[in-house]
Amino acid sequence: MLRGFYSAAAGMLAQQRRTEMLTNNIANANTPGYKVDQGSLRAFPEMLMQRLEGVQSPAKNGGNLRTASSIGGLNTGVYMQEMIPLFKQGDLRETGLLTDVALVNGNLPINAETNKPGSLFFTVQNTNGDVRYTRNGNFTVDPAGFLTTNEGFYVLNENGNRIALENDQFDVSADGSILVNGQAQSRLGIAFSEDPLNLIKEGNGLYRSNDGADLPNAAANPEVSYSLKQGFLEGSNVDVTQAMTEMMTAYRTFEANQKVLQAYDKSMDKAVNEIGRL
């Protein structure tokens, strides 16, 4: 009886975590550059149940022989194995602001192991001086004259240095060059990840490499192509309709497991309080 109890509880926990993931996706539907998370549910290993029996040996003074007969398999429930970001290009939204820059994917090499294309990122620096990566091109110029994200992270150029500007009156060319009065001053640092699934999500649209090493510069890779559009932002790739449908499915599944759990609870209550009196 308790085996089914734990299986239903595991199903409820898995659907709860799935609902939390879907809620976060919907909440970030309007966040520039946000990449939707996809959940992966996996079943716990199944157990093969067997019944041990004793058979009397037909021989004279024979002993009791132990035999095992198969009962069948037992599923021990499911769990949320991982959340995988989908690095698909989001739609472009025109803002008209000179400090907004959208990163548009061009040709991206296919990873031989995952059979999926790599991904491109803006290179930024957090308050601790560590390099991070983002698809959010919603930039601004801080009071000190540095190009930063709205969260205050410094935007880096292709040499890994902060980008200093006098004001927000500048142009960004398709290759990422920053022009002031028609003169090139710097170039946005665009990083390329061959396998973006190895990146670790930190929140606020930021990613970091799992080994702490910096990602290579995309401009130095002849197989990679991209372009930048000033006055545009890349929207999130969240499909709100699909996310809402999946959330309702997760809720109904949670509710079904909850009813199973309540049924087991009533059965155990009777076993303890009624059958136990006999």
Domain membership of residue 150 (yes or no) is yes
- At residue 124 the predicted structure's pLDDT band, cuts being 50, 70 and 90, is very high
Domain membership of residue 167 (yes or no) is yes
The number of domains in the chain is: 2
- Residues 149, 181 within the same domain: yes
- Residues 129, 230 within the same domain: yes
Domain membership of residue 136 (yes or no) is yes
- At residue 2 the predicted structure's pLDDT band, cuts being 50, 70 and 90, is low
- Residues 229, 253 within the same domain: no
- Residues 11, 78 within the same domain: yes
Any idea of the CA torsion for 161, 165, 169, 172, to the nearest 10 degrees?
Answer: -20
- Residues 200, 117 within the same domain: yes
Domain membership of residue 6 (yes or no) is yes
Domain membership of residue 135 (yes or no) is yes
Q: Which residue has the higher pLDDT, 58 or 201?
A: 201
- Residues 224, 261 within the same domain: no
- Residues 137, 225 within the same domain: yes
Q: What is the predicted pLDDT for the residue at 134?
A: 95
- Residues 78, 132 within the same domain: no
Q: What range does the domain containing 171 cover?
A: 99-234
The mean-pLDDT minimum among 75-79, 133-137, 144-148, 154-158 falls in 75-79
- Residues 168, 266 within the same domain: no
Domain membership of residue 155 (yes or no) is yes
- Residues 132, 203 within the same domain: yes
Domain membership of residue 92 (yes or no) is no
Domain membership of residue 34 (yes or no) is yes
- Residues 160, 51 within the same domain: no
- At residue 41 the predicted structure's pLDDT band, cuts being 50, 70 and 90, is confident
Tens-digit pLDDT profile for residues 46-103: 666 666 666 666 656 655 666 666 766 666 678 787 888 999 999 999 999 999 999 9
Average pLDDT over residues 11-38: 92
Q: Which residue has the higher pLDDT, 252 or 266?
A: 252
- Residues 108, 204 within the same domain: yes
Closest of 108, 81, 71 to residue 21, by C-alpha: 81
Average pLDDT over residues 123-129: 90
The yes-or-no verdict on residue 112 having pLDDT over 90 is no
Q: In sequence order, what are the beta bridge partners of 243?
A: none
Task: Quote the mean pLDDT of the chain.
Answer: 87
